[in-house]
């Protein structure tokens, strides 16, 4: 299992774990509950009726397709998940969820997103990452803009769009590294 670690200045430990099947099964009830919450499903294009088996299938298919899913923990408590999907030779697509409304808006999404981008650019040596946020998803767009993403309407970027209701953005490795210099060295990969 790959594990990303980032000790923050306030003493909290942010950990992102690429889970095996047993770890997915352990956390599937919380993940399914969060995926099915209206506020999350509407922003992630989810069906709203994912079962525990659907969660396990999602993680298995992600890994089988060359993607990387991570469970996100703060001081050992699960708070959400994130992944790199549609992984190609030098690019991938990024998605993230902070599950509970009580833990949203406190900087967790931004911190975990930064960690997986360090993994993607520094450790996997990808060149570019794409996102396809819904037009109304202001929170994730702000998160992505702060990481260094810019609008990208190229055919390659639009190929990541699941429907017309999304904008497409991308970020390159040098831009991410210049925008997030501390994280590049501080995030540990185990």
Indicate the residue among 60 and 106 with the shorter CB distance to ligand COA. Answer: 106
Q: For ligand COA, which residue has the nearest CB?
A: 109
Number of residues interacting with ligand COA: please give it, by CB under 6 A. 22
119 touches 22 (CB < 8 A) = no
> CB of 158: closest distance to ligand COA in angstroms?
17
* Site membership for ligand COA, residue 151 (CB under 6 A): no
124 binds ligand COA per the rule CB under 6 A: no
Which of 90, 142, 151, 178 binds ligand COA (CB under 6 A)? It is: 142
Any idea what the Cα angle at residue 80 is, between residues 166 and 114, rounded to 5°?
A: 70
**CA 186/CA 179 separation, integer angstroms:** 14
Q: How far is the CB of 31 from ligand COA (least distance, A)?
A: 12
CA 128 to each of CA 27, 40, 73: distance values in angstroms, whole numbers, following the listed order = 30, 26, 26
Q: Taking CB under 6 A as the rule, which mask of x and - marks residues 28-67 in contact with ligand COA? A: ------------x--xx-----------------------
101 to 120: interface string for ligand COA, x by CB under 6 A:
---xxxxxxx----------
Instruction: Among 1, 13, 52, 138, indicate the residue that binds ligand COA (CB under 6 A).
Output: 138
Sites of contact with ligand COA (CB under 6 A): 40, 43-44, 95-98, 104-110, 133, 137-140, 142-143, 146
């Amino acid at each position: 299992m790959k594990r990303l670690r980032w000790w923050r200045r306030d003493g909290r430990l942010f950990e992102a774990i690429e889970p095996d099947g047993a770890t997915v099964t352990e956390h599937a009830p919380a993940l399914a509950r969060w995926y099915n919450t209206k506020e999350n499903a509407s922003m992630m294009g989810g069906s709203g009726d994912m079962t525990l088996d659907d969660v396990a299938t999602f993680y298995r298919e992600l890994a089988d397709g060359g993607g990387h899913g991570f469970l996100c923990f703060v001081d050992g408590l699960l708070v959400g998940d994130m992944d790199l999907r549609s992984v190609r030779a030098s690019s991938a697509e990024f998605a993230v969820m902070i599950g509970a409304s009580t833990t949203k808006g406190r900087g967790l999404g931004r911190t975990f997103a930064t960690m997986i981008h360090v993994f993607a650019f520094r450790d996997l040596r990808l060149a570019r990452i794409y996102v396809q946020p819904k037009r109304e998803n202001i929170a994730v767009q702000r998160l992505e803009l702060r990481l260094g993403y810019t609008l990208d309407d190229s055919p390659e970027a639009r190929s990541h769009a699941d429907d017309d209701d999304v904008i497409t953005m991308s970020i390159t490795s040098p831009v991410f590294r210049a925008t997030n210099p501390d994280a590049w060295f501080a995030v540990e990969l185990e």
